[in-house]
């Protein structure tokens, strides 16, 4: 299944929408307007909170973002490296060993779980807004969307 994650053109909080191949919205991503941690909330189309993503307040050389479930329980930490030449991101705190690599800041990346490729990410280059294509199994899409938003938060935080 392919989904498309596109930031809105004019938004103060970093809101996005996630659509399927047919262009139907499947998730809403709402960002907080004044948030030093870049908090984003991922909702299903019924308005139910699925995930909260936020950056660590202070980042020294290695950047971190956190993914929380709807109950506020931390599911994982997403982090980069001090010298992140290959643009690898590591997901810590899960039973499975996740990793995002393949030049995320460029165009193509992949997500592996326990060494097996489970998803592909393609980033569309656009000056006005970020746009991503995520291809994975339908049951993995919600969590992988949260991971992708966490990595995008880290990249945005590093650019400031």
User: Domain coordinates of the chain in residue numbers?
Assistant: 2-158
Query: 20 - beta bridge partners?
Result: 3
pLDDT tens per residue, range 90-149: 899 999 999 988 765 567 889 999 999 999 999 886 655 678 899 999 999 999 999 999
pTM of the model: 0.85
Q: Among 63, 66, 41, which residue's Cα sits nearest to residue 154?
A: 63
> Using the 8-state DSSP alphabet, how is residue 146 labeled?
H
Alpha carbons 157 and 113: distance in angstroms, whole number: 25
Does residue 88 surpass a pLDDT of 90? no
Tokens of 22: 């047919």
CATH for the 2-158 domain, from 3.60.10.10, 3.40.190.10, 2.40.160.200, 3.40.47.10: 2.40.160.200
**Mean pLDDT across 62-82:** 88
Q: Supply the mean pLDDT for the chain.
A: 82
Radius of gyration of the chain (CA): 14
């Amino acid at each position: 299944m392919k989904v498309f994650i596109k930031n809105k053109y004019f938004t103060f909080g970093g809101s996005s929408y996630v659509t399927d191949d047919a262009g139907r919205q499947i998730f809403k991503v709402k960002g907080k307007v004044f948030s030093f941690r870049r908090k984003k909330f991922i909702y299903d189309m019924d308005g139910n909170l699925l995930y909260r993503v936020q950056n660590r307040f202070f980042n020294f050389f290695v950047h971190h973002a956190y993914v929380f479930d709807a109950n506020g329980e931390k599911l994982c930490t997403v982090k980069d490296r001090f010298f992140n030449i290959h643009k690898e991101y590591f997901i810590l705190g899960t039973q499975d060993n996740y990793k995002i690599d393949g030049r995320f800041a460029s165009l193509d990346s992949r997500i592996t779980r326990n060494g097996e490729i489970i998803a592909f990410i393609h980033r569309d280059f656009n000056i006005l807004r970020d746009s991503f294509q995520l291809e994975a199994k339908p049951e993995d899409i919600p969590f992988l969307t949260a991971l992708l938003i966490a990595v995008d938060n880290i990249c945005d935080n590093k650019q400031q």
